[in-house]
Copies of this chain bind each other. A is one copy, B any other.
Amino acid sequence: MTRLNETHDSSLTSWVASANGETDFPIQNLPFASFRRAGSDETFRGGVAIGDQIVDLAALHNSAPFDGLAGEALAAAAEPRLNRFMGMGQAAWSALRLALSRALRSGSEQQASLQGCLIAQTDAEYGLPCSIGDYTDFYTSVFHATSVGALFRPDNPLLPNYKWVPIGYHGRASSIGVSGQKFPRPQGQTKAPDATEPSFGPCKRLDYELEIGIFIGAGNELGEPVSIDRAEDHVFGICLFNDWSARDIQAWEYQPLGPFLSKNFASTISPWIVTMEALAPYRTAFAHPAEDPQPLPYLSSESNSREGALDIQLECLLQTEQMRNNGEAPTRLSESSFKHSYWTVGQMVAHHTVNGCNLQPGDLLGSGTQSGPEHEEAGSLLELTVGGKQAISLPNGETRTFLEDGDAVVMRGYCAKPGAARIGFGEVVGTILPARV
C-alpha cells in the first residue's frame, strides 16, 4: 500500500487560492476526471481538480509537458478516457501526482505555465472518467446485508456464507452514467405478496444505494490470481457511487440468479476519482469481530489487518422537485462511513481474482450499500423506512417512503481528521424522471 510522502504534507499550500480554504480538493488530493467546457463540442480530456479549478491535462501536455515517467503518465491522462493511464500502474500514477503537486505548490516556478491550463469547475461538464469494461457490485456492509436480508427473507436474514465470502455479483456497465444523470422511472414486472399473478407497470419502490466505487488500474491476466498483498497495486482510486434499485422488481425477479432489471436501468458515479495514494493518511486497522470467522488465508494479510480499511465519511441527501422549485437545499437523509465495511478493498480484489478472473484497467467495483451499525446510518430508503412501512418526514413537510418523480439524490464523501488535509470526493447527483409512457 502507498506510503506517505511529500505530497501528503498537510502544510502544503497551492498558488491556486481556492485550494487552501474550505474545499474538497486541496493540493493533497489531486483527483482525476474526464471533462470539457460545458455545452461545447470539445473533445473530453483528463483533468485534475485543484480548489475550484481543473488542471486541463491535455493543455498541460501540449504547452508544458513533464519529463520522464511523469510526462508519459501525463500524455496518457490527457486522453479522452483515463484507461491507458490507469493501466500504467502505481509508479506512473505517483510520478504524475508528485509532478503536479510540485507544480501547483505555492512558489512553484511552473505557476506561469500552468496558469493558462486552468478551467473553472463551474465552466466544465464531465464524462465517464474511463471506459468501464466490467462492473461488479459487492455487498460489504454486514449491517445492510442483515437489515435488507430481514426484509427479503424474514426467517433467514444473514446467510451462512456472508462472513466467509465477500459476496459480489456482476452488474451492468452500459447504463453507468456520471453525476447529473437523469433517467425515467423503470417499468417492469412486480408481484404483490398476496397477488396470484404479477402485473406490469412503473416501479413503485424506487430507491438509491449509497456506495463507493473502486476503479481498477493495472489489470491481471486470465488465470492469474492477485494475492491480497498485491491487491492494491491494481487499484487506481475511489469515487462515489449510487446504485439505483427498483425494490419491487427486485423482490419478484431476484431468485435464483440475483438482481437484474431491478438494478441495470441506471447507476451513477461522481466525476472525480480520488486516488488510493491521496487516501493513504486515512487508512485504519481492520479486523473481523473476534466472535466471527477469521478470513481464509487468501483474504488475510498482516498489512490488510494493520491498515486495510479506509475511513471515508459518506452522506446521502434528497432534494425533491418542490424543494428545488422553492430554492431549498438538499436535506440529509443519513451519514455513514466505509470503515464499517466487513471486507476491505484489497479483499474484494483478491477474492474477485482468486479463481483466475481477469480485471482490466477501468473496471469498476461497487462496495455495496454502506449502511452503518445504527438505523440512522442506513444507506438506502428500504432500510430507513423499514421496507416502506415508516415514512420519512422532510423539513418542508413532504414525506417519502421511496423516491418520487423529480427527486434528486445527492451523495457526498470526504476524509478528515486532525493533522491531515481534508480529502473530498465532491458529489454525485442523479434525478428521477417520470416513467416513459
Chain A residues engaging chain B, CB cutoff 8 angstroms: 133-134, 136-137, 139, 149, 152-153, 159, 161, 164-165, 167-175, 177, 183-184, 186-189, 191, 197-198, 200, 203, 222-225, 246, 249, 252-262, 264-266, 293, 296-298, 351-352, 354-360, 363, 433, 436
Chosen A-B contacts, 17 in total, with CB atoms closer than 8 Å, are A161-B252, A164-B191, A165-B198, A167-B260, A172-B357, A174-B222, A174-B363, A175-B222, A184-B356, A203-B355, A223-B265, A223-B436, A254-B257, A257-B258, A258-B259, A262-B355, A265-B356
Q: How far is the CA of A261 from the CA of B352 in the complex (A)?
A: 7
Q: How far is the CA of A411 from the CA of B352 in the complex (A)?
A: 28
Q: What chain B residues lie within 8 Å of A433 (beta carbons)?
A: 223
Closest B residue to A137 by beta carbon equals: B257
CB contacts (< 8 Å) of A355 on chain B: these are 186-188, 203, 246, 249, 261-262, 264-265
A174-B255 in contact (CB<8A): no
- Closest residue of chain B to A197 (Cβ to Cβ) is B293
Main secondary structure of the interface of A (DSSP, over half): loop
- Interface centre among A161, A191, A264, A355, by most B CB within 10 Å? A355
Q: Which residues of B contact A246 (CB under 8 A)?
A: 355
CB distance from A192 to the nearest CB of B (A): 13
Partner of A174, one of B177, B183, B259, B357: B357
| A262: B residues at CB distance < 8 A | 355
B222 touches A177 (CB 8 A): yes
Residues B133 and A174 in contact, CB atoms below 8 Å apart: yes
Q: A258, B169: Cβ atoms under 8 Å?
A: yes
Residues of B with C-beta under 8 A to A191: 161, 164
